[in-house]
Amino acid sequence: MKPILVFLTLCSMLFGAQYSIIISKKVSVSTVTREQIRDIFLQKRHTLGDLKIIPLNLVGQEPSRIAFENAVLGMDRDRLNAYWVKQHFQGNSPPITQPSHESIKAFVQNVEGAIGYVPSSMADSSVKVIYEF
């Protein structure tokens, strides 16, 4: 039994979720679907339940942002760029950006409705994890 548990733990460490999508603890929402998150970060929808949501992106091309775009949005950089160019003509802007995971976490802690992604190791009891990838 022990070797199996060690194997499963190693598998979890190797293949488990690297990043968590976090929201304020005050929000009653506990889980969301990938499609809901995708629609929020593509600015197609603006609410979860009755709460107005503020999506936060990490600035630049950090690994977590690339991972989020591929795993959750399901779009590579070129496709996402084409999407936002078209949205620019429609009068829609991408989500606001933050300079670091720390600032995303601080924003989420202080602003009800803010949603962002951080490394799972940063997701402590001060925020609520609603999705992992």
Partner 1 sequence: MQHIKVSLISLIGLIFTLHAEPYQLGHGVSVNDALNVGGYFSSELESNHQSNSFTLDDVAVMAYGDINPMFSYLAELEAVGFYHKNFSDGSEESHKKFHAERIYGDLWMADSINVRFGKQITPIGYWNLEPINVLRDTTSNPLYSMLLFPKFLTGLDLNGYVPQTQGVRYHLFGQHNRDLDEEYINIPNSHFFGLALENEISMEWSSSGSIGEYITKTNQRTRFIQAGTKYDDTQWQFLAEGLIAKSEYPEQAQTYAFSGYAQAMYRYTQEHAVISRFEYFNDHHTDYKDTIFILGYSYRPWYPVSLKGEYQWHSQNDENRALFSLSVLF
Applying CB under 8 A, the residues found at the interface with partner 1 are 35, 38, 45-47, 52, 74-76, 78-79, 81-82, 84-86, 88-91, 93-94
76 and 66 in contact (C-beta within 8 Å)?
no
CA distance 103 to 20: 15
Least distance to partner 1, CB of residue 88, Å: 5
Q: Are strands 19-24 and 127-132 parallel, antiparallel or unpaired?
A: antiparallel
Q: Cβ closer to partner 1: 63 or 74?
A: 74
Minimum distance, C-beta of residue 14 to partner 1, in the bound complex (Å): 28
- The least distance separating partner 1 from the CB of residue 99, rounded to whole angstroms, comes to 12
Where are any strands of DSSP class E within 1-133? 19-24, 47-48, 51-52, 54-58, 96-98, 114-119, 127-132
Q: Whole-number minimum distance, CB 96 to partner 1, in Å?
A: 8
Q: Kindly tell me which of 8 and 59 has the beta carbon lying closer to partner 1.
A: 59
Question: At CA 41, angle to CA 35 and CA 45, rounded to 5?
Answer: 70
The amino acid present at 101, given as its one-letter code, is: H
Distance between CA atoms of residues 95 and 56, nearest Å: 6
Residue 26 or residue 79: which is nearer to partner 1 going by CB? 79
Closer residue to partner 1, CB minimum distance, 47 or 126: 47
